[in-house]
């Protein structure tokens, strides 16, 4: 049987009172949250919302569907056939929670999220060949911080306050081959205060204030002057004045095409921060941004992370919160934001919480008309895979062994690199379209031709030659290796008949390759559901 896939008030206010504190603010002492209690509260808010809205919630995903989704989201590729078979057969009622923790402990999780966060924080690299050779140290820096489970507020502080080094002529002296550094964030934003400020507000506060760069924001209460006051925190990143010791100069910026000079101010209340002469303006900004009393930061990270796992944010678009675009379930984002702050901005805790929630564990199949609006989270959204997820899942399914070390594959121009050049995309995962070039690559590209040939694929040759497998067993192996599930009785009957008659060429071995090709080109394989 084939499967058909359908594709708390706004931040408590755009400028919540709790975020209107000035200067460095000490983090409140909050007891560590209990994971089970947070998940229970999230599910309660979801159930209350579904009941209020009269929504019939989709059933839970079966074990194969859940494991495949979880593996794609946490380690960036589908599980192996043996892992899928063992998980489906496991009778332990706690196996889903245990699998979440197991995947979070794998090196593949670090590699996957280093790539996810790098693409989020410096998306300019994708379209700028000059920067493509500069991102390895940044991705290595992210990986090392994730390995140490560094708190998100500390990671962001490092990104925003990394030192800029320039010689007397203003030329950059930073060594590009230096490992483990977030310097690329400034480089990708061209060392321009306005670019760095725009990226910082959008990525770390979820506020697209750059729309006020040239004129007052047409839909939000942001003024042109406010944007440049924010940019003034980052004046010192400019090569021309990076080594100037005059602190006042580093806190002021001239608005282009005007004679007006403005001082650095927090955009929410317009007050000048209480400066600490021992700190740079960027450090002062980071103090304010990552304070536990600043609702922007935690809610933005929570919203973006929810979007990664659920396909869309509780506030969507994720960087345009306003009175006209409030969170779908205000209590939900409030609950999770408070728990994230109380955890010490622990990303693993956030991942553990969201993947244990009822919303994450629902099937993607629509079983009732009330589930049609994906904003309700009453069923899982269907997401397109990234190029990295697709290739690594193909490699997993077909038994392809990449000779390049895992941490270097992102920077390699081998088989994987060539594949990724065809599948790079900046579209939202829930809206991703397949191009003609991508379709041709999947249908008859060299990698796919070799992977689905019993003469050239060691995996398929092993399936065909295994003396303990009959036709039914071979079909089951192909499904477990690619779909992470067993075939339905209807699928098994149809495929057995096709193989027994040798397909269109009266060759049973070739028919097995044909079946594998069809599976790998199906929407079920190429979508994260």
* 357, 383, 435, 512, 528 from 438: Cα distances, Å: 34, 17, 5, 24, 17
Domain boundaries, the chain: 10-60+292-381, 206-279, 384-528
Rg (CA), the chain: 25
Burial (0-12, 13-18, 19+ Cβ within 10 Å), 263: middle
Contact between 182 and 159 under an 8 Å Cβ cutoff? The reply is yes
CATH architecture entry for 384-528: Orthogonal Bundle (1.10)
Single out the residue of 79, 59, 87, 77 nearest to residue 364, CA to CA: 59
Q: Note the pTM of the prediction, 2 decimals.
A: 0.87
* 83, 193, 198 from 477: Cα distances, Å: 12, 55, 50
**The 3-state secondary structure of 138-174, one letter per residue:** HHHHHHHHHHCCCCHHHHHHHHHHCCCCECCCCCECC
Contact between 288 and 176 under an 8 Å Cβ cutoff? The reply is no
**CA gap 30, 372 in Å, rounded:** 39
Q: What is the pLDDT along the chain (529 residues), one digit of tens a residue?
A: 333 333 233 222 233 333 333 333 444 445 689 999 999 999 999 999 999 999 999 999 999 999 999 999 999 999 999 999 999 999 999 999 999 999 999 999 999 999 999 999 998 877 777 777 777 889 999 999 999 999 999 999 999 998 765 544 444 444 444 567 898 999 999 999 999 999 999 999 988 876 655 545 555 556 788 888 899 999 988 866 655 555 455 788 888 888 888 889 887 666 778 888 888 899 999 999 998 777 889 999 999 999 999 999 999 888 776 677 789 999 999 999 999 999 999 999 999 999 999 999 999 999 999 999 999 999 999 998 988 999 999 999 999 887 776 656 555 567 777 777 776 665 666 565 666 666 666 777 788 888 888 888 899 999 999 888 999 999 999 999 999 999 999 999 999 999 999 988 889 999 999 999 999 999 999 999 9
Which secondary-structure segment (H or E) carries 417? helix 415-423
Strand pairing class (261-263; 252-254): antiparallel
């Amino acid at each position: 049987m084939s499967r058909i896939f359908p594709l708390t008030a706004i931040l408590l206010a755009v400028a919540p009172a709790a975020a209107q504190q000035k200067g460095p603010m000490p983090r409140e002492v909050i007891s560590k949250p209990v994971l089970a209690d947070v998940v229970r509260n999230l599910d309660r808010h979801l159930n209350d919302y579904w009941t209020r809205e009269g929504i019939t919630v989709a059933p839970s995903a079966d074990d194969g569907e859940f494991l495949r989704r979880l593996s794609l989201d946490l380690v960036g590729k589908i599980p192996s056939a043996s892992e899928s078979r063992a998980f489906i057969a496991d009778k332990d009622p706690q196996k889903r929670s245990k699998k979440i923790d197991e995947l979070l402990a794998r090196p593949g999780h670090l590699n996957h999220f280093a790539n996810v966060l790098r693409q989020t924080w410096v998306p300019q690299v994708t379209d700028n060949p000059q920067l493509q050779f500069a991102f390895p140290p940044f991705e290595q820096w992210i990986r090392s911080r994730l390995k140490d489970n560094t708190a998100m507020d500390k990671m962001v502080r490092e990104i925003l306050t990394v030192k800029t080094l320039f010689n007397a002529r203003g030329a950059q002296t930073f060594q590009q081959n230096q490992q483990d550094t977030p310097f690329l964030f400034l480089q990708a934003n061209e060392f321009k205060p306005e670019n760095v400020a725009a990226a910082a507000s959008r990525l770390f506060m979820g506020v697209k204030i750059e729309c006020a760069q040239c004129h007052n924001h047409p839909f939000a209460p942001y003024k042109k002057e406010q944007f440049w006051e924010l940019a003034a925190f980052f004046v010192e990143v400019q090569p021309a004045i990076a080594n100037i010791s005059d602190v006042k100069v580093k806190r002021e910026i001239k608005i282009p095409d005007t004679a007006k000079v403005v001082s650095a101010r927090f955009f929410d209340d317009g007050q000048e921060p209480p400066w600490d002469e021992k700190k740079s303006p960027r450090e002062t900004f980071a103090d304010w941004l990552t304070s536990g009393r600043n609702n922007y930061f935690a809610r933005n990270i929570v919203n973006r992370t929810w979007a990664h796992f659920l396909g869309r944010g509780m506030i969507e678009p994720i960087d345009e919160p306003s009175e006209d675009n409030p969170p779908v379930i205000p209590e939900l984002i409030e609950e999770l934001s408070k728990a994230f702050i109380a955890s010490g901005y622990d990303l693993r805790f956030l991942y553990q919480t969201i993947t244990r929630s009822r919303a994450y564990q629902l099937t993607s199949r629509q079983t009732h008309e009330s589930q049609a609006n994906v904003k309700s989270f009453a069923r899982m959204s269907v997401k397109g895979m990234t190029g990295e997820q697709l290739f690594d899942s193909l490699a997993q399914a077909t038994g392809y062994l990449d000779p390049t070390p895992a941490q270097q594959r992102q920077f390699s121009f081998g088989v994987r690199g060539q594949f990724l050049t065809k599948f790079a995309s900046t579209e939202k995962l829930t809206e991703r379209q397949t191009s003609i070039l991508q379709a041709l690559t999947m249908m008859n590209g060299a990698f796919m031709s070799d992977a689905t040939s019993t003469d050239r694929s060691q995996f398929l040759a092993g399936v065909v030659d295994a003396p303990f497998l009959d036709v039914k067993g071979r079909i089951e192996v192909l499904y477990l290796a690619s779909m992470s599930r067993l075939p339905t009785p209807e699928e098994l009957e149809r495929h057995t008949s096709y193989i027994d008659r040798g397909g269109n060429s009266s060759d049973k071995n070739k028919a097995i390759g044909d079946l594998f090709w069809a599976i790998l080109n199906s929407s079920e394989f190429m979508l994260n559901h």
